[in-house]
Amino acid sequence: MRPNRPIYLDNHATTPVDPRVLAAMRPWWEENFANPHSVEHVLGRAAEAAVEQAREAVAELIGAEAREIILTSGATESNNLAIKGAARFAAQQGEPRRRVVTLATEHKCVLESVGDLAAEGFEPVVLPVRADGLVDLDRLRAAVDDRTLLVTIMAVNNEIGVIQPLAEIGEIAKAAGALFHTDAAQGSGRIPLDVAALRADLLSISGHKIYGPKGIGALYVRRRPRVRLAPLFSGGGQERGLRSGTLPAPLIVGLGEAARLAAIEGALDAGRIAGQRDRFLAALRAEIPEVRLNGDPERRVAGNLNLTFPGAVDAQAIMAAAPEICVSTGSACSSAEVEPSYVLQALGISEREARATLRIGIGRFTSPADVDQAAASLAAAWRHAIGSGARP
């Protein structure tokens, strides 16, 4: 039997490149490959102009100015630069504040960056979350004081899709005189974000989560009042000295086009995606009524469903029985060991339930036929997995 066409429902891991983004990038691979720093000649200046136009589009998506946007290789680098860069610069200035506050459900690159700072004399504080996945604002208030240098809390969680109350978090950070960074890799383009309203000092973006290319991202760095960072790389001093290295003009043009489209179409996308999500969940629940949604049911992005399946079933067995459906187990695979998701465990979900959980990520290009097929296939796969080899 011919295998069915793969159906992609893993838009939190990465999104496809929008065809319009690909079209915008193409000339910068083929016709003008010049180094955008080669401003002595006409091709270099054209590449530089394209980079600056893209920077403007990224800035507009989050209500920033173009000169507040530092281009990086992605959100991992942006998060490292924001967290380590802010801490190290402050320490170099003799700043006595040492505490860096974050959440247990942050992306690994944030948790590891914060954790790494312990070896440099900083005080990492990793707060638990509520059972709905949201920050406990009272606990945050208690943890953020005049010893706090930085608060770093994500906009949208990459596993459970919950939207953190960023404006309230920003208010708490600012009241204590701390910096506020948010990892908006999953938030930008999916929910409206305005750095002034959020009072964010630092905000990370990833190209490949907003239908742009992989290997490009941005860090917003506030100018008024000015936020200073120590760079991670030594080199030619590009990006106002914060990120040395030749700017990849084609990727930047792609990021800019993705940001431009997100600003125009983000709200339309969200409405359509919510419709596909509801259609998928209704179809799945018609087959498996006991399927449980993890994370706050209201404060979440449209495309995310994090679902625990009933019975002693392994999500990997469900995926194996529906190989054409591209979803994820919400487990981080390190070497051969499959660890149950630390995000789900932070919500108080048991290890057994975490292992029975799938993350569904619906995106801009998901069709009604895709979600119908996926719901039917996953329901059948669940029945198969329950019937065969599932142990109590």
Is residue 361 part of the contact set for ligand PLP (CB under 6 A)?
A: no
Task: Give the C-alpha distances (Å, rounded to integers) separating 386 from 3, 288, 305, 359, 383.
Answer: 22, 12, 21, 19, 5
Taking each helix axis from N to C end, the angle separating 75-92 and 108-116, rounded to the nearest 10 degrees, works out to 20
* Options 76, 113, 276, 306; binder of ligand PLP; rule CB under 6 A: 76
How far is 255 from 260, CA to CA, in rounded Å?
Answer: 9
* Options 55, 107, 243, 277; binder of ligand PLP; rule CB under 6 A: 107
Is residue 359 part of the contact set for ligand PLP (CB under 6 A)?
A: no
* Options 34, 127, 154, 374; binder of ligand PLP; rule CB under 6 A: 154
Tally Cβ neighbours within 10 Å of residue 287.
Answer: 14
Is residue 58 part of the contact set for ligand PLP (CB under 6 A)?
A: no
Catalytic residues: 333
Question: Residue 53: what are its φ and ψ, rounded to 5°?
Answer: -65, -40
Across the strands, what pairs with 325?
7
* Options 75, 195, 203, 307; binder of ligand PLP; rule CB under 6 A: 75
User: According to CB under 6 A, which residues from 211 to 230 bind ligand PLP?
Assistant: 217
SS3 state at 72: strand
In terms of DSSP H, where are the helices of the chain? 19-25, 27-30, 42-61, 75-92, 108-116, 137-143, 166-175, 195-198, 249-287, 315-321, 342-346, 351-354, 368-387
Is residue 206 part of the contact set for ligand PLP (CB under 6 A)?
A: yes
Is residue 209 part of the contact set for ligand PLP (CB under 6 A)?
A: yes
Is residue 304 part of the contact set for ligand PLP (CB under 6 A)?
A: no
**What would you report as the CA-atom Rg of the chain, rounded to the nearest whole angstrom?**
22
* Options 50, 70, 143, 185; binder of ligand PLP; rule CB under 6 A: 185
How far is 53 from 77, CA to CA, in rounded Å?
Answer: 22
Q: Identify which range of 180-188, 304-312, 330-338, 344-352 contacts ligand PLP by CB under 6 A.
A: 180-188
Is residue 366 part of the contact set for ligand PLP (CB under 6 A)?
A: no
SS3 state at 102: strand
Is residue 148 part of the contact set for ligand PLP (CB under 6 A)?
A: no
Is residue 103 part of the contact set for ligand PLP (CB under 6 A)?
A: no
Q: Identify which range of 21-29, 56-64, 69-77, 351-359 contacts ligand PLP by CB under 6 A.
A: 69-77
Binding footprint of ligand PLP on the chain (CB under 6 A)? 74-76, 107, 109, 154, 158, 183, 185-186, 206, 208-209, 217
